[in-house]
């Protein structure tokens, strides 16, 4: 076997030398040889450069992996945000189209020149009777009646009958019992859509003309549907503590519920003795109102009083 030259021995040890794992004798041998051999010095330099380059490459690789991981993390966050936005957008659009279709249906329904609306609500506590609001409309003329009816079907309070014309400022309040008439002026001409007043969140009368209201309503309105108690499908619209049931076919409100401020407390306490929930029921009839229903009776025998609150 050929004996290894000193250079060969030293070069075999160089890797160990660089790693710092040689015993002191071998280390001494290598260092002494390196002092006098430029060939082995060169070899050492090459090894050191190789190691350095290797380290650099490894670092680059790690950096690259980190970058990829960071990028995919950002990507999944963006994806999640987009998914959430899309879900909210779908819910919003679903609500917007339902509310919009209701308001379009109602508006169409009241383009007719002949309708009757009745709203019945609880006037106060149980037994106090029901508050009735009736409106008849035909060919630009209208009449409204407000009264409280007791359980025995008797009118306990009559707020009179109001007669008016669309496009005019004045209305007449007639009390047919004591033959008095009050002429009252409004600051604005009467409009047909103001005869039809519905609760939130439809407002087919005037509010739905405001784009901001139309765009905002879907954010605040909860929409579900049901057919309980009525026997036909209706949308249940909830806005805060108020609830409105809307007929799916016609878009017309059927019932509304709200919280009445009328609460009776036990003396010196905040404990309610009884509280009443405001409930309102709506009834509609189309193409049945006759001229007699909206024509003002002859008031030549009436005592007429004029009120102009805006003078
Ligand atoms: Zn050598």
Half-sphere exposure of residue 8: CA atoms within 13 angstroms, side-chain side: 4
pLDDT(3) > 80: no
Spacing, Cα 52 to ligand 1 middle (Å): 23
How far does the centroid of ligand 1 lie from the alpha carbon of residue 56, in Å? 29
The predicted model gives 51-77 an average pLDDT of 94
How confident is residue 106, by pLDDT bands cut at 50, 70 and 90? confident
In whole angstroms, what is the distance from residue 203 CA to residue 156 CA?
Answer: 31
pTM, to two decimals? 0.69
For residue 34, how far is its CA from the centre of ligand 1 (angstroms)? 7
Comparing C-alpha atoms, which of 223, 214, 166, 193 is closest to residue 108? Answer: 193
Does residue 202 register a pLDDT over 80? no
Percent of the chain's residues with pLDDT above 90: 46
Return the domain boundaries, the chain. 105-307
CA of residue 55 to ligand 1 center, whole Å? 27
User: How confident is the model over 31-50, as a mean pLDDT?
Assistant: 93
Q: Are 233 and 225 in contact, with CB atoms under 8 Å apart?
A: yes
Phi, psi of 132 (to 5 degrees): -120, 135
Cα-to-centroid distance, 26 and ligand 1 (Å): 14
CA 7 to ligand 1 centroid distance, Å: 4
- Residues 173 and 182 sit within 8 Å (Cβ to Cβ): yes
Most confident of 186-190, 197-201, 294-298: 294-298
Mean of all residue pLDDT scores within the chain: 86
What's the 14 CA to ligand 1 centre distance in angstroms? 11
pLDDT per residue as tens digits for the range 18-36:
989 999 999 999 999 999 9
Q: Which fold has domain 105-307?
A: outer membrane lipoprotein receptor (LolB), chain A (2.50.20)
* Mean pLDDT value of segment 134-155: 91
Strands of the 242-247 sheet, one edge to the other:
222-226, 234-239, 242-247, 253-265, 272-286, 114-122, 130-138, 141-149, 155-165, 170-175, 180-185, 303-307
Going by DSSP bridges, is the β-strand pair 170-175/242-247 parallel, antiparallel, or unpaired? Answer: unpaired
- For 301, phi and psi rounded to 5 degrees? -90, -5
| Better pLDDT: 161 or 311 | 161
Distance 32 CA to ligand 1 centre (A): 10
| Gap from CA of 83 to ligand 1 centroid (Å) | 68
Instruction: For residues 196 and 116, give the distance between their C-alpha atoms in angstroms, rounded to a whole number.
Output: 10
> How deeply is 137 buried, as exposed, middle or buried, from its count of CB atoms within 10 A (0-12, 13-18, 19+)?
buried
Nearest to 136 by CA among 254, 250, 287: 287
pLDDT in the model for residue 271: 83
CA of 6 to the centre of ligand 1 (A): 6
Q: How far is the CA of 17 from the centre of ligand 1 (A)?
A: 14
């Amino acid at each position: 076997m050929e004996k290894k030259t000193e250079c060969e021995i030293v070069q075999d040890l160089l890797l160990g030398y660089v790693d710092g794992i040689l015993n002191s004798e071998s280390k001494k041998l290598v260092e002494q040889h390196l002092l006098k051999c430029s060939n082995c010095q060169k070899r050492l330099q090459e090894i050191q450069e190789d190691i350095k380059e290797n380290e650099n490459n490894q670092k680059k690789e790690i950096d690259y992996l980190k970058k990829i991981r960071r990028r995919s993390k950002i990507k999944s966050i963006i994806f999640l945000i987009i998914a959430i936005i899309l879900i909210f957008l779908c819910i919003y659009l679903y609500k917007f189209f339902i509310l919009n279709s209701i308001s379009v249906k109602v508006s169409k329904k009241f383009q007719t020149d002949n309708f009757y609306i009745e709203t019945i609500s609880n006037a106060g506590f149980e037994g106090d009777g029901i508050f009735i609001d009736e409106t008849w409309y035909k060919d630009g003329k209208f009449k409204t009646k407000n009264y409280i009816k007791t359980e025995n079907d008797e009118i306990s309070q009559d707020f009179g009958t109001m007669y008016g014309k669309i496009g005019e400022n004045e209305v007449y309040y007639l009390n047919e019992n004591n033959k008095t008439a009050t002429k009252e002026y409004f600051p604005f001409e009467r409009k047909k859509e103001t005869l039809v007043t519905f609760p939130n969140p439809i407002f087919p009368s005037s509010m739905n003309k405001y784009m901001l209201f139309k765009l905002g309503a879907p954010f605040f309105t909860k929409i579900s549907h049901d057919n309980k108690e009525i026997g036909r499908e209706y949308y249940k619209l909830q806005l805060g503590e108020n609830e409105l049931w809307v007929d799916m076919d016609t878009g017309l409100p059927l019932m509304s519920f709200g919280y009445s401020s009328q609460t009776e407390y036990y003396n010196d306490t905040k404990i309610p003795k009884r509280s009443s929930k405001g409930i309102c029921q709506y009834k509609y009839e189309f193409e049945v109102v006759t001229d007699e229903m909206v024509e003002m009776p002859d008031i030549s025998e009436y005592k007429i009083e004029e009120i102009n609150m805006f003078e």
